[in-house]
Amino acid sequence: MTVTVRFAPSPTGKLHVGNVRAALWNWLFARKENGRFILRIDDTDQERSTQEYEEAIKADLAWLGLSYNDTVKQSDRFERYDAARDKLIAAGLLYPCYESAEELDRKRKLQRARSLPPVYDRAALQLGDAERKELEAAGRKPHWRFKLSQTPVTWTDLIRGETSVDTASVSDPVLIREDGMYLYTLPSCVDDIDLGITHVMRGEDHVTNTGVQIEIFKALGGTPPQFAHHSLLVGADGAGLSKRLGSLSIEAMREDGLEPAAITDLLARLGTADPVEPVHDLERLATGFDFDRVGRAPARFDEAELEVLNAKILHETPFVDVADRVSEYGADEQIWNAVRGNITRVSDVAHWIGVIRGEVDPVIEDKSLTDEAAKIIPDTMDDTAWATLTNALKEKTGAKGKNLFMPLRLALTGEKRGPEMAVMLPLIGSEKARARLQGMRA
């Protein structure tokens, strides 16, 4: 058996961290098992689906490094869904219902008032041919429901373990709307059968759907895949992320300057027993992926943690991996190696280029010290220039420690913190350094 998984976004919006976590985990599992990862575009909702969103989804996956073996579009497969529909109708498992949305809502309210579960009462199954024709003559168009067995459906979930859904407690699901549009459930089952999907990994909010879909798989003559339902992401405060998905879209994160590795490293480990750390390499993440390491508790997505991880990744990134990106700011390898430990975004390089090559307003805290430094700063800069300068000043003034180093840093860079001055001073150069030590903008 070749492990085959799929990621099935709808092109009705942008990918966000919740979507990508599901995509990433499927990709990692397929990679570890030398399997196949299929991108399925769920575009049956043709009113809301757009080509623009589809292309954006593909661009996000490419940026994250999540390549796929094949692409399937549901809008190309309506004939297969029609055939499945006809098979279910012939088997007496798909039946027409004529209640309006308002009528169904009233039924649910009455059931709740009587302390009954709001489950569809299957009234449509009692309709005779004459009654159906009468309703259709009055302009009613049916929606179509799948007739559940009303028995427990049990499977061994790869994350949750033994899991059961009693379909007697679930309404017969609507598979086709009044306008003839297929809802998610039937096309998804048909596609999973046709594409040979062996494993479905998705959020735990789909557990009830899985019980329903297993019955549909069997009704269509297919073998249900193995299922793994992971916990959902919540914010750092434990609240849901739904109201903030715009700011958590992959597109927004890319535009904000985050590294793709920071996103994949974090999402790969959230909800698992493994520590969040810079990995850089998706293949290494795949090697370590293990369902036994996945927990059941909600996974907290903390943007502050993402920021820290992004900085750590850049601190370890060699120049060759960012050369084309930092060159637009005028940075070479020497500058990159000097400043990378003090940035959280690649774009932060621009600030330190300004400190090195631009004009800085020096902060003079100890004028006697900086005046003395201006006199003895070496004309020729090399790797020993900072040590030479500070040793000479220590001997002449008696200043040491913070009282020596901080006034020099403030005068030379205008900043309280930053890269090591031993590497910054030669980059700044003698002329600029001398002027700044004398309090001049340079």
- State the pLDDT at residue 1: 84
Q: Which stretches of the chain score pLDDT less than 70?
A: 242-246
- State the pLDDT at residue 241: 77
- State the pLDDT at residue 380: 87
- State the pLDDT at residue 239: 81
- State the pLDDT at residue 221: 98
CA 405 to CA 131: how far, in whole Å? 91
Could you report the per-residue pLDDT of 227-246, keeping only the tens digit for each?
999 999 998 888 877 655 56
- State the pLDDT at residue 335: 97
Helix, strand, coil percentages, rounded to 5, for the chain = 50, 15, 35
Q: Phi and psi dihedrals of 155, rounded to 5? A: -145, 160
β-strand 4-7 against 36-41: which pairing, if any? parallel
> In the sheet that 36-41 helps form, which strands lie side by side, from edge to edge?
4-7, 36-41, 70-73
Kindly list the structural domains of the chain, giving each domain's residue range(s) and its CATH number in brackets, ordered by start. 4-72+183-234 (3.40.50.620), 80-151+160-176 (3.90.800.10), 235-316 (1.10.1160.10), 319-356 (no CATH), 359-437 (1.10.10.350)
- State the pLDDT at residue 378: 87
- State the pLDDT at residue 429: 96
- State the pLDDT at residue 190: 98
Could you report the per-residue pLDDT of 168-211, keeping only the tens digit for each?
999 999 999 999 999 999 999 999 999 999 999 999 999 999 99
